[in-house]
Structure 1
């Protein structure tokens, strides 16, 4: 058994909103439930519904900007900035800007559709 694993074929999560999600490690790609790491690209003028995940989520912005609505407070992060959003926090992610936003998302425990608790729009 090797002491490392190079991910060359991340699981591409099917979306219908133009967002790219390439999960390198996590439930869908490697079957692990303790952590997920995904490369994301949010297209211009993209948003998703509010959610209250049962996992911590860390976001590192590579390029562009991303907006966060967290418990009634609105924040914008730019390239080189990062944020931790703790489990149980009501949050909405969006990119209301004119350029795509590329970022890395790390979830601990791993992202799980059954534990993201998205609200109906």
Structure 2
């Protein structure tokens, strides 16, 4: 049965500066644990701790540049590009460039604080 999602829920973000997370589909907004879909707005200078998540993350950059660091590579994902980070791969996201970035993140299974495994 189809379900209309009227609006997203704002989620508290982890990181050095205030990042806006609007979850449309996921554990919080739609009580969906199979997948989460959220729009992120990260200001210039934002970064979060590294993590080794127990979910795959598919990211599409809408505006700006998202820096994605893995154990072996560093990527500058620009507007119109996407990146896939598979579960159990160490990753760190940041937006060090002017203007920050806006992007859509899809996590399978859905993002959960219990599954993200942030560095301490």
- Give the structure-1-normalised TM-score: 0.93
CA RMSD of aligned residues (A): 1.1
Aligned length: 118
The CA deviation at 1:11 is: 1.1
Whether 1:47 and 2:47 are equivalent positions in the alignment is: yes
- Structure 1: unaligned runs, 5 residues or longer: none
Whether 1:95 and 2:95 are equivalent positions in the alignment is: yes
The CA deviation at 1:6 is: 2.5
- 1:1-121 aligned at under 5 Å gives the runs 3-15=1-13, 17-120=17-120
Structure 2: distance between partners of 1:15 and 1:86: 21
The CA deviation at 1:97 is: 0.5
Moved over 4 A (4+): none
The CA deviation at 1:98 is: 1.2
Q: Say which SS state the counterpart of residue 57 (structure 2) adopts.
A: strand
- Give the structure-2-normalised TM-score: 0.93
